[in-house]
Amino acid sequence: MTTTQALPLAPARAPIRLRATLARTILEQVLDRVPVDAVLPDGSRLGRSRTSESEPNGIRPTVELRRPGAFFERLAHHPKIGIGEGYMAGDWRAAPGTDLADVLLPFAERLATAIPRPWLALRQFVDRAIPPEQRNTETGSRRNIEAHYDLSNDLFAAFLDETLMYSSALFDRTRPVQGQSLEEAQLRKVHAILDEARVGAGTSVLEIGTGWGTLAIEAARRGAHVTTVTLSREQAELARDRVEAAGLVDRVDIRVEDYREVRGSYDAIVSVEMIEAVGEEYWPAYFRGLDRLLAPGGTVALQAILMSHDRFLATRRSFGWIQKHIFPGGLIPSLRAIGEVTQQETGLRVTHVHAFGHDYAETLRRWRATFLAAWPQVQRLGFDETFRRKWEFYLAYCEAGFAAGYLDVAQIRIERAA
């Protein structure tokens, strides 16, 4: 049985009880600013939680606090992690008739205003530093990647489409999105980034972050010769099988190798949602590596999750639920940060950006629906109910971030300065 780490609470000491009372007070004030109702076990509502006349039909998302005492203690221990861990433990849930992402969306839309300004001064006391073991050294990167991507190929296959692309799809916005399959939209994304990198017949391509091989296969079908590197042995094994099944072994070389170990010269370098796993400390080495590996006249194309520069500066040193439970060592950059490090460390410059964050919200919505529908199959792989709630929260949390515009995703073309 693959079990998720238990989430026990230590016996509440007096300081924790005091902080739990404070956490409840702050949450009550937040709920006065955010159109979400919170219902206690006795049927009463937390805080004033008035229904807003501005909401359609006076209805708005509702959560049930099933174990409010335990939930407030989790918030007291760590506000940034306690909300997600409270969901994992079953301390709260979306009320019947309310979708989890609909609960999280109003908070994501009001990140800058939800917490009353006087309470923001407490941030320095609740933010925790990123644990040193999550640093993306060569050893640490391998450990961080294995913690997520080597969970099980069968797990990912249960909720991804046939392409096995675990990154944002790109929908055709000239047509109704609901009429487009996820597979179609994922292949559109792959070919869009290959176009950004100018990949064609005879192109030598380096892919950093293999996934399960779809991009390498599609590049090879264009007549390119592809070297693709990953730190996930499970991904590499399945990607090799898929490349062989496609009859492209002579055009695709899959290596279990750190990007820092790669040598050679490539006409195109492509990387889809891998920069988030590099870590700010290693961005200079990462971009210097791209510069070193890129042949004269070559092109780099990255697909990157992004946040605003202000939010990046506010969160870059803190440790959150996603880093603890989903992507250890992860950090989302801003477009400005990418531009600054490339300018300071390399001769590379950003020359084109295509953002499509709302497509990621739709991608995540479909992944979550498929994951929940496939839960009996996933459970047979050995995953427990805490894992189910963890991944449901992860997918809904990210969906809300992209739907609110707090997060974005973009394909970024990078070339050498003229």
Task: Report, as residue numbers or ranges, the catalytic residues.
Answer: 398
* Separation CA 245–CA 239 (nearest Å): 10
The whole-angstrom separation of Cα 217 and Cα 242 is 8
- Tell me phi and psi for residue 260, to 5 degrees: -75, -15
Alpha-carbon distance of 312 to 378, in angstroms, equals: 34
SS3 (DSSP) at 207:
strand
Bridge partner list, 256: 230
Which runs of E-coded beta strand occur in 31-167?
A: 37-39, 62-65, 92-94
Distance in angstroms (rounded) separating the CA atoms of residues 271 and 210: 8
- Both tokens of 83, joined, read 């909300």
Q: How far is CA 159 from CA 175, 215, 337, 383, in A?
A: 24, 19, 33, 14
Task: Give the pairing of strands 37-39 and 62-65.
Answer: parallel
Question: In this structure, are residues 301 and 196 in contact, taking their beta carbons and an 8 Å threshold?
Answer: yes
Q: Which helix (H) or strand (E) holds 203?
A: none
Kindly write down the DSSP assignment for every residue of 321-387, as one continuous string: HHHHHT-TT--PPPHHHHHHHHHHHSSEEEEEEEE-HHHHHHHHHHHHHHHHHTHHHHHTTTB-HHH
